[in-house]
Structure 1
Amino acid sequence: MPQNQQIVLDNRPQGEATVSNFKLVQSETPALQDGQVLVQHHYLSLDPYMRGRMNDGKSYAQPQPLGQVMIGGTVGEVVESRHPRYAVGDKVVGMGGWQQYSVVDANTPGTLRKVDTTHVPLSHYLGAVGMPGVTAWYGLVKIINPQAGETVVVSAATGAVGSAYAAVAKARGCRVVGIAGGPDKCAYAVNELGFDVCLDYKVHTDVKSLSQALKEACPDGIDGYFENVGGYILDAVLLRTNAFARIAVCGMIAGYDGKPMPLSNPALILINRLKVQGFIVGEHMEVWPEALAELGGLVASGKLRPRESVAQGLAAAPEAFLGLLKGKNFGKQLVKLI
């Protein structure tokens, strides 16, 4: 069995996360038991939710245990199998974690899924046709539920979630406005992802400026908003919401370091009779087949052209992850492991 490199959570962040919170270790890969398969990971997904799990506080999921392999989605190839449904060479997606190999009990439902790479590249199953894509789909379709002609907005617009959101929203006849950081990202959002407008938060650095920009970008107001960030961006969006607007709350990356994020005008929730709903996509597995079918079709047809930032080698994962939290990635952040 191969030697396995792994990254574990060595200690919990005190405020901002740092490289010193992680530790690279080597381990022996155990021999397979009946029903298990050995997966060699090709790509590791880095996602903002991982930062929240590094804290030892109350949340929707248990904290990442100290001294154990960091949680994370992976795609790869079966290299040894003692399970009848999986053969050597099968391409699979799972939650293999920050490591080169994983031993998976394939009898446990939901741990491993075979994927077809004929029309969709393997790496996309960690982004547009994976958890981030389904996240965008669920927030838009099931919570915002837009009608043709409505205006919908998303923060972190050029990431894996935002890019899928744009494609799904345009397919439903919406005006789609993004918020992203920097002129290159905003140009990509409009020219390749199909956004009608993309606003640069690095130009609009406070509530007043961003709210005015949103007023110009959304002349008919905002009917739906997908929240990834929080902070002053949420305050600015709330000022432009229409009556009965819907807000799907997926993430609050501005608060992952433990800083409080008070709303400046929560009365707008009542004044505009807003629906504000947080959600965790892993709690809605019943919609995944429908969502993945639509997302796969959008990728195969070229209507969704996701971009990827790829770090090379497992040792690069901590720096790439910290960069993701600061918006340094362009599109879906991955680590290539082979």
Structure 2
Amino acid sequence: MAEMVTSKMLATFEFVRPAGMEDASWAAAQRLIGRLEGAVAARDHALAIGCAKELAESVAKAVLVVRGEVVSANDDFPAVVKKAHTALQRQPGIDLAQDSPLRTIAQSARTMVTQLAEIRNIYGTGHGRAQDPKVTDEILYVSLDAVALWIKWALRRLDVLAQGMPSSLIHDLLNGGPFTSGVLAGRLIAADLPLQEVAVQRRLGVAVAQRAMQGTFLIQREGVEACAESDELDLWPAPYREGAFEGLFISQFETPTISTWSASQAARLLTPLTRADEIITSVIGKVRGRPIPVSRETLVAVVERLTGSAHFLPQGAENAWQELIELVKKAASAADAGTLA
């Protein structure tokens, strides 16, 4: 039976969980709905607007996670919603009409929900103010209706998007499922990576690397090192490599992560790729300025490993790689030594 969360304040706030939505993503949405309900019940309109914006952002990020994107806390709200909307709009499927008038309605819903960023800036929480702005019922409920409309559309389309993913493997990787020797290698072979869609290949690469960064040796060996040691794109396709590279630097909780092991493997994942510089630059943008729970000593060792592995990079990626090294050097030398500044 489909799991449902209903907001008592508005009949329109009723969401059905897509079958392929991650447990953690659904739990996050439930918590935000609870906060939203509480804020409305307390007539704290400013807090309710802030919660509504967070709920839309949470659903958008859940879409990108299923799509195989590595999400960073640095990504701004309108950009996240636009990327999620674009991914869902292009997804074919039964009952997902492509008629122009309906696409226009969906696009209008996206345009409305992205205005929540500005509405929150003016009326919502998250800013210290000399005076509280007056937030009328109309401002609140128009905002909530816009959020509800877009989220309903997104969740319905997410169901079809998730159906194309090897969900059980991804779930086991991200939720601590057990892996004995040869299991991951066998399941990746069974997934037939080269025949999967690009989004599926990326999603698997991300999930494998993020689980490997939790220190699971067998995942490190069979999902990352085996790929790094091979230049074969037929066996280890480019989207998988890109996803794995990003997963070595950004955790499933959107925080930067790094280790001496990942620093030794990262460049080798990119060796046969033609757009390695773009991939590295993208990661730099997602981790810059974010705190990372790594000691100064580890960061110094990471710099050494990154520097020593630069010769594995394809031509044209050297400048971007050096920028990444300088970013880690700056964190290592900084007083807090915990921010990729």
More strand by share: 1
Task: Flag the structure with more relative contact order, 1 or 2, with Cα contacts below 8 A and sequence separation at least 6.
Answer: 1
Tell me whether the two structures share a fold, i.e. TM-score over 0.5. Answer: no
Name the TM-score class by shorter chain. Answer: under 0.3
More helix by share: 2
The structure with the largest alpha-carbon Rg is: 2
TM-score normalised according to structure 2 size: 0.26
